[in-house]
Structure formats: structure tokens, C-alpha cells
Amino acid sequence: MLLAPDEALAMDVHGGKEAAVLVPLFDNGGLHAVFTRRRHDLRRHAGEISFPGGRRDDDEALVDTALREAHEEVGLPPAAVTVVGALPPTPTFVTNYAIYPFVGVIEPGFAWVLQQTEVDEVLELSLDELRAGYGERRLVRRGIPFRTPTYETGGHVIWGATARILGDLLARTSR
């Protein structure tokens, strides 16, 4: 069961900077989530898979941050999203963010418009396939090997804060 957005906003989370992501879901013969693959030439999180989102602007509600960022990054208008709940906020360890995920339902078949400076591609991934692709894997980041929970499907590997958010989503949407 998803949290009400107010419940998620009231939770304590470590992080000096607030950010929000939209977890867009659609049903197309099973639930699918929408992710972005960040460009490989970015300074931070290059090539990583994430939900559309970013840093909160001053005096902006976090749910509005998630909707604004999804519109900017993949062309998804806020009016095309029905926010149905939230997930617990997730801290990032290296960048010191508190990420607030909001879950929204969209129609399948949306024509994505990518923000070319940040987004390399949009991925529409089956939750069932992601659930089946869970495992702890050895990754190497900046020359340092580590073991971490991951989700893999179709050659796409999701890890880090996005994997933690996805894991919570999968636990709350399991049958």
C-alpha cells in the first residue's frame, strides 16, 4: 500500500538538500514504470538509470518538484499524471539529498520528449521483470568495487537510491 503524500513528507530522512522524483506507472498487460537513462557525459550520475526528478526550487511543494522535473526531462505534462501516493523518502549517501518519491499513474503509449542535455533515453520497464531481475551484484564505481542490491532487465541495471525506491515500490505493489 502506498503512503499518502502527507505521510511521506512527515517522515524523517537524512539529507541536507531536498529533491523529488516522479515514479510514473502505467498498465500495459502488467504494471510498468518509467525511468530515464542519464547522458554518459554528465558530471554527476552519468549513464545511470533513475526516475525523472531533481532538486526542489525555493518555495516549491515537493510533489510539484516531481511533476515539474518529469515535464522538463521527458515532456510529461503534470495534467497527464494522477498522483496516487508516495513512497518513504530515500537518502543519498554521497550527494546528501533527501529524495521524496511520488507515484503517479499515466496512460500507456506516451510520446516522450527528451531533455537532450540531461536524458539519453526513456525506459518503460515491466515491474514483474524488474522483480525477477533482483540480485546483489558486484559493481565498480570510480575504480572502487562494492556489492549492492540491483534490479536488472534487458541489459539495464538499476542500483543506488533508484534501486532502494524501486524495492519499496515493488514491496508495496506485490500481489
Question: What region does 96 belong to: left with phi over 0, alpha with psi -120 to 50, or beta?
Answer: left
- Among candidate residues 9, 33, 5, the one with its CA nearest the CA of residue 170: 33
- Among candidate residues 170, 172, 171, the one with its CA nearest the CA of residue 32: 170
Distance CA 152, CA 158 (A): 6
Q: How do residues 16-25 score in pLDDT, each as one tens digit? A: 899 999 999 9
To the nearest 10°, report the CA torsion of 143, 148, 153, 155. Answer: 10
pLDDT for the residue 96? 87
Distance CA 138, CA 146 (A): 5
pLDDT for the residue 93? 78
Domain residue extents for the chain? 5-126
Q: What CATH number should be reported for the domain whose range is 5-126?
A: 3.90.79.10
Q: How do residues 58-103 score in pLDDT, each as one tens digit? A: 999 999 999 999 999 999 999 999 999 999 999 987 788 899 999 9
